[in-house]
């Protein structure tokens, strides 16, 4: 008998197990002596040197084959394994892992490049293909997966296939490529660095290019960048002057030129490069900046452009800025995961108890695995599918709600997060306000004009230009005679009139606004050259600018008589009230940046040859630039308290010698390859000294519809609202009061500017003594406090009913969101409408974007997109509340469904001597988890405790959800007790039925009795609980 027993290879290194096996085989009979001697001779001597698992060869050989192996072969194997066991395996694993990491994570170093025009084969390096890839997965991602995950996999696969189709459509777009033999059609994905690409009007730019030529006579064109930076205005781009002056398009191949481009980087608002033509004498070197670039994913708005490709594929600005946002997981999912882990521990514990009660008889580990499989219904594997279906239904209900039209659910996995928010962080401009600017105030220092006195400004401007031209026609002069003509007027009248005229002219000249005249019906695109010769009718003209403030100012100058009728790269034309056209040559342009907070322009009057430097900007930036005055700071504060956005306007007259000196230094700084920005800024700052203060303007940004009642509702719901804005402190405080973010009777603590640790310590101590007051803090002070006292600031700020952070950068907004998440552990929501809000929206647990005038970038990056701020009330109070309560009940019901079966199985096994035998057949269990219990799942998805109108009328109902009482260990234990009770009752009375018994009357009354015993006590307890401890909404539903 012992000869027929196979001797398996040693699987464990424990001596106790070895002795048990030796005793077992020796007790089998006298024929087992040889195996016993073998074990005592070899196994005891070399047991520790043998691996825990031998090869499959040992399992395939029987005892006789095993003993016929030569002794030398066995010892040789052990000597080879000795190195492997004693450390060799670590060396092999480490080597393999390092090799795989180097292969998978190897990144190509980004370098600067020299691009030869029209000769991509001259490129020394290999550049990536110019194809777009937005797919998140590959084919092998969808191979694994079982039946339970089929719903999720199919949904992701469909979304992925749609992304693949969109990418294929974009990559297959045809473009004209300029070659030595002429134009050829090429796919977008086949474009290479160095190619000369022709892009027509209204066509997408396929890759990052340097702008070489255009069909526009001015040498410039407009592009739309709303898909890149979220801004809806048109941007003016300038062609390289050397290539624009070439007589014909084919001459690009007759010159020997190249472009030096900096290495690929993230910043879409800067570029440093040079254009060099070597075949001219001397060689031409031209500096390239952001205005000479055409970034991928932008649209050509005017003319036809030709560019040389410098970055493709993954190295383009648009792709490098497409950060992969974090995969947001709802708090409910995390809580369900914790409960699932607890259920898994219960599964293991129950199986061990069953095996223990069995007495560890026979192969007990085999019985342990059987019990694990029998009780596996404790683990709610179908929970994910049911929740995904429920969340899809919630998203469909949100988008179908007629009370919030235009709402889009972009992340369907976190609708229940809308029901657990504690902090709402909102932008100001375009979110709480309409981003519709209206000119309200002009202050000249001694006199102020409002909306009711704009006619006086109009008369001043009209008189100034009429006297100027009447005197000019008589004396053939321009500047001095108008002042002589006014000598008979009173001195104050003369002073105010001239100052009004200078202020209006400065506002009409200092901007980046471009008038655009729409093409008339029937006019082809080839007549774009005639734009300058069009009639400048007011009905056909629209203004394009980078900011609504700029458009409001230019529209105001038009209303008072000075109209901007034309603008190109080098000139600007104004129309006076009398119809005369004033032409100004644009010598230099200094665009607005968030660092400088100002913009400027140098113009030459074609009639008088006077050169003037105009500048406007924020008061904090301009106060140190203008000449000394005693009214600017006070009036800026007064306008800010009225909720107006202020701009300071100043000018400086330049002589021809001063300008020529500046131009030479400025051109040299722009040609610098290293630290170009710093050198250019230093040269410009040399002009910004002792400038003449002309005026102070005030523009109003109106509030969105129903902002006040919406904020009041959110406050009553227990949501703390923080306003994060880049605007100045006074304006932010005024908007906070006017929108009722801060009530009129509530105190406001304005955090003083701090620059050091000591100042921050003193100011925090002063703030600690305040109680129940709103906090207003600037971005600079916030940065200092976060550096030294992050914990203390977060603790104090979280106690405030409202917080206003002004002068915040996009990075600071995201940092505040993360600070709240880390310090409080509460759920945060960020809402905004501009590209500067994207980082805040993506960092928050729930991001909401508003489709506003600043573009769709925020709404596309958000989890939920709405059209108006007031829609957030219904989104949270109705849909957020119901989604959370439904998901909490659904998750616990699915767990309850599995616990009932496992309880019945445990009772059944206990009755039959702890046998690991299934109670029900497999197909019955599958039907129970799908068809039989399908209707309760659907009913929970459509469950409603209060009507939507009641939820909106009583936002206090929302406050209970933030405590998380709908899904907690307490409610989970209640469901567990119910499951155990119902499981024991059902298996005790009705588990043992035969087919003949089902057809009798006795079966019916027994089933009825089981149902009554299982359900009636629970309904009685539920009724008593509602009577003794009614829910918060019980009075509303009665």
Strands 846-850 and 864-866: parallel
- Spell out the residues 6+ positions from residue 186 whose beta carbon is closer than 8 angstroms to its own: 174, 175, 176, 177, 195
State the DSSP string of 270-333. ---EEEEESSSSSPEEEEE-GGGEE-TT-EE-SS-EEEEEEE-GGGSHHHHT---------HHH
Q: Measuring CA to CA, which residue among 602, 295, 145, 645 is closest to residue 435?
A: 645
Q: Which one-letter DSSP state was computed for residue 30?
A: G
**697 three-class SS:** strand
- Spell out the residues 6+ positions from residue 983 whose beta carbon is closer than 8 angstroms to its own: 899, 900, 901, 902, 903, 904, 906, 907
Asked if residues 271 and 289 have their Cβ atoms less than 8 Å apart, the reply is yes
Q: How many CA atoms lie within 13 A of 786 on its CB side?
A: 16
298: β partners: none
Continuous segment of H or E residues that includes residue 413: none
Asked if residues 232 and 226 have their Cβ atoms less than 8 Å apart, the reply is yes
The rounded distance, in Å, linking the Cα atoms of 629 and 693 is: 8
Assigned token pair, 52: 């825990």
Assigned token pair, 669: 């700084």
Assigned token pair, 649: 């306007």
The rounded distance, in Å, linking the Cα atoms of 94 and 98 is: 6
Q: Which one-letter DSSP state was computed for residue 850?
A: E
Assigned token pair, 643: 């909720």
**157 three-class SS:** helix
The rounded distance, in Å, linking the Cα atoms of 945 and 1005 is: 34
Q: Which residue has the tokens 């105001």?
A: 556
The rounded distance, in Å, linking the Cα atoms of 580 and 577 is: 8
* Residues belonging to the active site: 427
What number of other Cβ atoms are within 10 A of residue 708's Cβ? 16
Q: Which one-letter DSSP state was computed for residue 109?
A: P
Peptide bond into 282 cis (omega under 30): yes
CA torsion angle 179 181 185 189 (round to 10): -40
* Cα angle for residues 420, 425, 429 (degrees, 5° grid): 140
């Amino acid at each position: 008998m012992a000869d027929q027993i196979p001797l398996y290879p040693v699987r464990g290194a424990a001596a106790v197990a070895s002795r048990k096996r030796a005793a077992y085989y020796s007790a089998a009979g006298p024929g087992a002596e040889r195996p016993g001697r073998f074990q005592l001779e070899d196994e005891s001597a070399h047991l520790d040197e043998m691996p825990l698992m031998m090869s499959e060869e040992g399992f395939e050989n029987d005892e006789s084959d095993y003993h016929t192996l030569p002794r030398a072969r066995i010892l040789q194997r052990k000597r080879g394994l000795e190195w492997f066991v004693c450390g060799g395996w670590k060396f092999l694993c480490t080597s393999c892992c390092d090799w795989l990491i180097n292969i998978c994570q190897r990144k190509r170093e980004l370098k600067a490049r020299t691009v030869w025009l029209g000769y991509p084969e001259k490129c020394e390096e290999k550049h990536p293909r110019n194809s777009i890839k937005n797919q998140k997965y590959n084919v092998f991602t969808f191979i694994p997966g079982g039946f339970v995950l089929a719903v999720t996999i199919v949904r992701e696969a469909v979304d992925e296939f749609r992304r693949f189709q969109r990418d294929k459509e974009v990559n297959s777009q045809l473009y004209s490529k300029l070659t030595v033999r002429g134009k050829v059609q090429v796919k977008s994905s086949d474009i290479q660095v160095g190619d000369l690409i022709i892009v027509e009007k209204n066509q997408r730019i396929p890759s990052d290019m340097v702008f070489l030529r255009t069909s526009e006579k001015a040498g410039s064109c407009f592009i739309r960048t709303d898909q890149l930076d979220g801004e809806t205005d048109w941007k003016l781009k300038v062609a390289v002057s050397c290539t624009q002056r070439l007589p014909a398009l084919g001459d690009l191949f007759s010159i020997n030129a190249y472009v030096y481009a900096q290495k690929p980087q993230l910043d879409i608002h800067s570029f440093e490069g040079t254009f060099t033509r070597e075949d001219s004498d001397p060689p031409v070197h031209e500096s390239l900046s952001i205005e000479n670039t055409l970034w991928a994913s932008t649209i050509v708005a005017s003319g036809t452009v030709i560019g040389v490709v410098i970055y493709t594929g993954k190295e383009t600005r648009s792709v490098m800025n497409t950060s992969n946002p974090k995969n947001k997981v709802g708090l409910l999912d995390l809580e369900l995961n914790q409960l699932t882990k607890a259920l898994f521990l219960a599964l293991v514990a129950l199986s061990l108890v069953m095996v223990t009660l069995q007495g560890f008889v026979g192969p007990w580990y085999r019985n342990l695995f059987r019990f694990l499989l029998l009780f596996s219904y404790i683990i709610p594997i179908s929970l994910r599918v049911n929740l995904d279906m429920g969340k899809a239904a919630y998203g469909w209900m949100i988008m179908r709600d007629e009370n919030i039209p235009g709402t889009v659910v972009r992340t369907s996995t976190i609708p229940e997060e809308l029901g657990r928010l504690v902090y709402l962080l909102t932008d100001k401009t375009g979110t709480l306000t309409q981003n519709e600017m209206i000119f309200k105030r002009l202050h000249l220092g001694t006199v102020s004009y409002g909306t009711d006195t704009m006619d006086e400004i109009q008369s001043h401007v009209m008189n100034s230009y009429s006297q100027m031209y009447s005197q000019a026609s008589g004396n053939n002069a321009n500047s001095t005679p108008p002042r002589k003509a006014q000598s008979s007027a009173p001195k104050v009248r003369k002073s105010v009139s001239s100052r009004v005229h200078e202020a209006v002219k400065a506002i009409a000249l200092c901007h980046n606004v471009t008038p655009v005249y729409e093409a008339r019906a029937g006019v082809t695109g080839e007549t774009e050259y005639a734009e300058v010769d069009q009639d400048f009718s007011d009905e056909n003209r629209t203004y394009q600018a980078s900011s609504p403030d700029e458009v409001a100012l230019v529209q105001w100058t038009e209303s008072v008589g000075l109209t901007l009728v034309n603008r190109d790269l080098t000139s600007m034309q104004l129309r006076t009230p009398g119809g005369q056209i004033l032409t100004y040559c644009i010598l230099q342009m200094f665009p607005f940046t968030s660092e400088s907070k100002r913009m400027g322009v140098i113009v030459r009057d074609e009639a008088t040859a006077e050169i003037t430097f105009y500048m406007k900007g924020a008061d904090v930036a301009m106060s140190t630039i203008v000449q000394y005055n005693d009214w600017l700071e006070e009036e800026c504060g007064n306008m800010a308290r009225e909720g107006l956005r202020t701009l300071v306007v100043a000018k400086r007259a330049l002589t021809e010698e001063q300008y020529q000196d500046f131009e030479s230094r400025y051109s040299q700084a722009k040609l610098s390859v290293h630290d170009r920005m710093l050198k250019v800024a230093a040269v410009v700052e040399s002009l910004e000294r002792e400038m003449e203060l002309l005026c102070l303007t005030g523009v109003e940004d109106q509030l969105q519809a129903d902002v006040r009642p919406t904020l009041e509702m959110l406050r009553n719901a227990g949501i703390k609202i923080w306003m994060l804005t880049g605007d100045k402190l006074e304006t932010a405080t005024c908007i906070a009061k006017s929108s009722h973010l801060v009530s009129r009777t509530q105190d406001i603590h304005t955090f003083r500017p701090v620059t050091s640790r000591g100042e921050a310590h003193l100011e925090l101590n002063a703030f600690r003594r305040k109680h129940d007051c709103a906090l207003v803090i600037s971005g600079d002070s916030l940065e200092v406090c976060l550096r030294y006292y992050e914990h203390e600031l977060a603790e104090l700020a979280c106690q405030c009913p409202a917080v206003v952070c002004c002068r915040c950068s996009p990075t600071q907004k995201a940092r505040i969101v993360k600070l709240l998440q880390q310090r409080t552990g509460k759920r945060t929501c960020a809402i905004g409408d501009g590209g500067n809000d994207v980082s805040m929206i993506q960092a928050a647990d729930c991001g909401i974007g508003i489709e506003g005038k600043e573009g769709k970038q925020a709404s596309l990056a958000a989890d939920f997109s709405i059209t108006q701020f007031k829609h957030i009330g219904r989104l949270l109070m109705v849909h957020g509340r119901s989604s959370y309560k439904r998901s909490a009940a659904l998750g616990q019901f699915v767990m309850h469904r599995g616990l009932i079966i496992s309880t019945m199985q445990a009772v059944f096994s206990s009755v039959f001597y702890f046998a690991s035998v299934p109670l029900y057949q497999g197909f019955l269990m599958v039907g129970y988890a799908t068809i039989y219990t399908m209707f309760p799942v659907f009913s929970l998805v459509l469950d409603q405790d209060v009507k939507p109108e009641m939820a909106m009328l009583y936002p206090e109902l929302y406050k209970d959800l933030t405590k998380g009482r709908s899904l907690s260990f307490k409610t989970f234990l209640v469901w567990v007790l119910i499951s155990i009770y119902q499981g024991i009752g059902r298996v005790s009375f009705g588990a043992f039925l035969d087919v003949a018994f089902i057809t009798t009357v006795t079966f019916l009354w027994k089933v009825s009795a089981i149902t009554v015993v299982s359900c009636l006590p629970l309904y009685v307890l539920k009724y008593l609980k509602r009577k003794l401890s009614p829910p918060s909404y019980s009075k509303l539903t009665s």
